[in-house]
Structure 1
Amino acid sequence: MKEVLQKQFVACYSEIAAESIGTFILVFAGTGAVMVNELSHGAITHLGISFVFGAVVAALIYALSHISGAHFNPAVTLAFWTSGFFPQNRVLPYILAQCGGAIAASSILFLSLGSVANMGATLPLHDNWLQSSILEFVLTFILMLVILGSGLDRRAPSGFAGVAIGLTVGLEAAFMGPITGASMNPARSLGPALVGWVWQHHWLYWIAPIVGAQLAVVTYRHLSHNFRDTVQSLKLESKQ
């Protein structure tokens, strides 16, 4: 019995550590690119920053998804839980690990680069919080729909989830980053906000992504017949 409990603890510890490390790398690379772009007077460019965010997400999915599921995002963790693919007792540890990793990344960036470009914090363009709330909601809905369709549905081609999700993050950062910061991730927004002490409209970068991800769960549950294979769903319906 003790051996079983020890194995469960080690497994949970490994998952939580992977989430913290993965979110650290995501924020370190992504917001680091924002800061270096400012320091280098635009050498990276906005499209370059978008590429960094998308590429690091893809790389982390392939590196750590087999350990923790590669959430790296409180909105994604909550969505996995409500969809029935994630246990309730690990929701809070995952979210705390993600936030801790993001804060650690922003802290190291502050120590190494200084207070530059608001630490890469996400801020609504012209303080238009309503516009950014709507857009962050839609962006996270799209991202979560791609995650569910490419990463969880058994009918999806295997091995392409990282590419699909990374491309989605990069694409959305490219076309909406100048308006909202294209966070889609409360932890990604929390790290720079806390370390740089930039809290303007920070609440929307929690509420909009979480609600958007939840709507994606509801939508994909309907499209996939409650996350079952379409063939299986049709067989079950024919027997009723």
Structure 2
Amino acid sequence: MAEPAIDPDAEHRASLGRRYFVRFEEDTLRQRPLWIRLIIEFLGTFVLVTVAAGSGVINHYVGNAPISRTAAVIAPGAVVMAMIYAWGPLSGLHINPAVTFAFAGRGVFPTKWVVPYWVVQLAGAICAALFLQGMFGDVSAGGNYPINTSGGEWKSFVMETILTAILASIILNTATGGRSIGHNAAIAVGSTVALLGLFASPISGASMNPARSLGPDIVGNDYTGWWVYVAGPVLGAAIAVAIIGTVRGRPDPDELAAAEGGALPMTATPTDAKATE
């Protein structure tokens, strides 16, 4: 019985496909230098705050609130989802000081990088607020302020704490080491940002991000309830770290290697791919 003929073109295409996916995985998981990370964190925070604060600023500028509350809270979730797909492998796309704090508290992010991340995240938020102020004026309309009722700041503080604990828990459980990468992280984190905003934004604005709130505060020189958006997310992130530590224990060696700049294990290597040609 004759053996079936081997199609060399098909084998060549399969070999190219294997090499492509190996290289794609290598590029996704390899560590970037700090300066690249900081550029991405700055740009990512700028985009996030432009979108998140922009709805309130533009509604105030145009009048009659053409951007609904639903659209205003879904848009930041959608842009976070898109940026994780595009930029997650480059910096981890924290774009939130509370998330950086959570990764560092978990022990999967170098502590020496925490302050530089915080600095560029706040700088990105301030630049976004300056952009909105220059374009439309009254950037304070895009800020997050506690509800104007008795006990409003405390209710907002409790909500920001709980919301951030939920968000940080999702991020910590879907991240690769100290980085949000891939469709699992993108869909989970982006949808969580949107869903939490849908039900909680009337209470605290559902910021869950000190940079997002402080950027418009600083540019608008209005610090009403600012402590809510610093203390709440920090406490919420700490709660998330405690929860994941309880249910999952300490980080495994792969997580620690990723945090310190080592490569995560891959399903194949270039040598393996070459051997299969």
TM-score between the two structures when normalised by the length of structure 2: 0.74
Contact between 2:126 and 2:215, CA under 8 Å: does it hold in 1? Answer: yes
| Aligned position for 1:11 | 33
| Number of residue equivalences | 216
Runs of 4+ aligned structure 1 residues displaced above 6 Å come to none
Note the alpha carbon deviations across 1:46-104, whole angstroms, 9 max, x for none: 00001111111111111111111010000110111111111011100000000000000
Q: What's the offset of the Cα at 1:40?
A: 4.3
Residue 22 (str. 1) matches residue 44 (str. 2): yes
| Aligned position for 2:229 | 205
Aligned counterparts of 1:143 and 1:74: Cα–Cα separation in 2: 13
Q: Which amino acid aligns with 1:146?
A: I
- Aligned residue among 98, 102, 113 for 1:79: 102
- Aligned residue among 216, 222, 228 for 2:246: 222
Contact between 2:85 and 2:182, CA under 8 Å: does it hold in 1? Answer: no
| Aligned position for 2:114 | 91
Contact between 1:29 and 1:52, CA under 8 Å: does it hold in 2? Answer: yes
Note the alpha carbon deviations across 1:156-182, whole angstroms, 9 max, x for none: x96221111011101111111111011
Aligned counterparts of 1:147 and 1:50: Cα–Cα separation in 2: 18
Aligned counterparts of 1:191 and 1:158: Cα–Cα separation in 2: 28
Asked which structure has the greater CA Rg, the reply is: 2
Q: Which moved more, 1:185-194 or 1:28-37?
A: 28-37
Q: What's the offset of the Cα at 1:37?
A: 2.7
Greater fraction of residues in helix: 1
- Aligned residue among 213, 217, 232 for 1:193: 217
CA RMSD of aligned residues (A): 1.8
Aligned counterparts of 1:37 and 1:51: Cα–Cα separation in 2: 16
- Alignment of structure 1 residues 115-154 onto 2, 5 Å: 115=138, 118-126=140-148, 128-152=152-176
Same amino acid, percent of matched pairs: 38
| Aligned position for 1:3 | none
Note the alpha carbon deviations across 1:102-152, whole angstroms, 9 max, x for none: 000000100001115x24111000151110110100000000011012224
Q: Which amino acid aligns with 1:218?
A: A
Aligned counterparts of 2:63 and 2:85: Cα–Cα separation in 1: 31
| Aligned position for 1:57 | 80
| Aligned position for 1:36 | 58
- Aligned residue among 148, 165, 187 for 1:163: 187
Q: What's the offset of the Cα at 1:227?
A: 3.7
Aligned counterparts of 2:182 and 2:121: Cα–Cα separation in 1: 26
Aligned counterparts of 2:216 and 2:107: Cα–Cα separation in 1: 31
Contact between 2:57 and 2:137, CA under 8 Å: does it hold in 1? Answer: no
- Aligned residue among 177, 189, 193 for 2:201: 177
Q: What's the offset of the Cα at 1:226?
A: 2.3
Aligned counterparts of 2:190 and 2:220: Cα–Cα separation in 1: 27
Structure 1 spans left out of the alignment, 5+ residues: 1-9, 230-240
| Aligned position for 2:123 | 100
Contact between 1:119 and 1:193, CA under 8 Å: does it hold in 2? Answer: no
Aligned counterparts of 2:195 and 2:176: Cα–Cα separation in 1: 21
Note the alpha carbon deviations across 1:180-230, whole angstroms, 9 max, x for none: 01110000001110111110110110011011011101101111132449x
Aligned counterparts of 2:218 and 2:160: Cα–Cα separation in 1: 20
Q: Which amino acid aligns with 2:173?
A: G
Contact between 2:77 and 2:190, CA under 8 Å: does it hold in 1? Answer: yes
- Aligned residue among 67, 80, 89 for 2:90: 67
Aligned counterparts of 1:37 and 1:56: Cα–Cα separation in 2: 19
Q: What's the offset of the Cα at 1:41?
A: 1.6
Contact between 2:108 and 2:251, CA under 8 Å: does it hold in 1? Answer: no
Aligned counterparts of 1:220 and 1:134: Cα–Cα separation in 2: 20
